[in-house]
Chain A
């Protein structure tokens, strides 16, 4: 046999083997949710699974559910965080996608409007649970319930207790501390300010807008350029211009800096407590309410929803019902950390002893708002883009903040009409 013949037959054999392997590996797509032994598989997509701290714990919770009965198996779906919204929505838009999805509010609103989610009242009876009323209000679209709170995480001021003995109570104190702490490569504060983190900037500026008495809308009309918004955002700009933040640093980086004591303060949500502990268990940090004139801030409201195209809606609903049981709600809250869950829960004495400032978060639930534009929830992603682009242009000095907000108002009006 010549070398070519050998080469060719090796090639042929290899390709055959490879195609066979690939086919075998790929042959997991079945037509129905049931496998041969009658177990229904339900896939659950949540960006939380990617958290180094909370992800594995959440997987353990899924395991517990799976062990508690033998008809349904919940498995984590393979959707990474960086492209979570677009991946899931693309899949769902084409009639597929995971069975259970933990959404962020802007995507939840868009998905509800597009009819991609299953109405939950027919699948789950929520009347028997003591739900937090304020966050639950946002789980509806057009009067129909499409989600149940999985996690409600309020924004508060994180500060390094070694560097800051007493947390600031007013904006002026806040600004002063930020300036005093900034020295060399240490910064008093950190927040997001680049297009690369557009969703994050939206979350960060939300606190400044509402904390100074502003609002993106009054429920009926867009009020992007109202004077109170301008006041709040001018403060954002003031901090940016004063160089008290590490400019250009993305959230992953400046949170690592906070854990290393290089950043003194950060306005972040409760889920971050566990992450910080994971980065540096020895960090002495604490939490206080945001020191702005008005007690109103954003919250990460993450509903768990069922895909309207799912072939296993009842099984998915069973999982949600299981999670709503009081003892499992407590477990979920322990996993999530300083967040609230759907129902009112009592924190255990140990968790309070370990993390005394948990109560700070819990007390903020009633004054927290999700990061959507009220009355225009489904259009939030588009409005968000327009607002953030203009705000960043102002930060970069291309235009001034007032013009930025006026332009944003104009562009957003064009979008929603």
Chain B
């Protein structure tokens, strides 16, 4: 009994340390956002936020653009998540269960797509987008982000489906179910944690993406927040307090999405599986 309790306490302590490391820079963003210029260069650093400066956050919001930026980021991120997970589940399933010509090659190709850096592909993609009128649109960003994320989603889900014994599907097949139904009724609920993981991966990738967003979007009204924040970095000065305030407001929704993803999505799907 005692051994269990000590290791439990140790675990809690370790988790707290990890959380401290993870969250400290974010905390520091808040402290910086709420510091006056004098505070920043004082002899003794200000360690605790000065909430009398909270106006910084409201000013940033009142500017009117931050809300729009967050909305645009949300559209791109959710769109990317839906598209890449939606295409990735059948793709991963096919890679896992079916045998077809060039299967090993396909897996290699998927890995291969992760190799070239975004910077390398910006120029050709710009020409491509121009031809198909995808420039200056959030849909275009959704497409390009999904294209980058889909291979990983497919590979992760393939790995997850690999771990499900085929016998479980046999039962369904014997009952005469079509492959699509097997996929959704049997496999999907079982790989729910991996689906949630890939949803989070897709969301975060799209949420933070900058290079394509800044090159392909021309109209300020549809700028996502990743580009919007860069707007504050001016030639003659960066109001670091405002930037940090906006950065904090930009980080929160993504974290909230993760809370949602892990609780709701997983629960919803596993509940269905239990019910049969």
Contact = CB atoms under 8 A, between A and B. Distances in A.
B214 A280 contact: no
A83 B271 contact: no
Contacts of A68: none
B126 A94 contact: yes
Interface string A250-265: 0010011101101000
Contact of A25 (B75, B185, B237, B272): B75
Contacts of A78: 217-220, 223, 227, 231
B122 interface: yes
A271 interface: yes
Interface in A86-100: 87, 90-91, 93-98
Contact of A3 (B214, B237, B272): B272
A2 B189 CA distance: 13
Interface string A74-113: 0111111111000100110111111000000000000000
Interface SS of B by simple majority: helix
A279 B237 contact: yes
A94 B130 CA distance: 9
Interface SS of A by simple majority: helix
A25 B137 contact: yes
A5 B230 CA distance: 42
B234 A4 contact: no
A3 B271 contact: yes
A3 B268 contact: yes
A4 B215 contact: no
A162 interface: no
Nearest to A257: B41
Nearest to B140: A26
Contact of A280 (B37, B231, B233): B37
B218 A98 contact: yes
Interface stretch (A42-50, A311-319, A327-335): A42-50
Q: Which of B79, B136, B138, B237 has the most CB of A within 10 A?
A: B237
B238 A26 contact: no
Contacts of A278: 237
B249 interface: no
B234 A94 contact: no
Contact of A83 (B37, B127, B230, B268): B230
Contact of B237 (A27, A52, A75, A94): A52
A14 B82 contact: yes
Interface residues of B, number: 57
B149 interface: no
Q: Which of A2, A8, A43, A87 has the most CB of B within 10 A?
A: A87
Interface in B44-76: 72, 75-76
Interface stretch (A16-24, A121-129, A133-141, A206-214): A16-24
Contacts of A260: 37-38, 40-41
Given A51-B235, A252-B238, A2 B275 contact: yes
A374 B149 CA distance: 47
Contact of A81 (B41, B126, B218, B230): B230
B82 A256 contact: no
9 contacts: A18-B82, A22-B138, A26-B139, A47-B235, A48-B235, A53-B236, A94-B130, A256-B41, A260-B40
- In order of increasing CB-CB distance, the 4 nearest A-B pairs are A26-B137, A80-B230, A3-B272, A78-B220
Given A18-B79, A26-B136, 4 more contacts: A15-B83, A23-B137, A26-B137, A96-B218
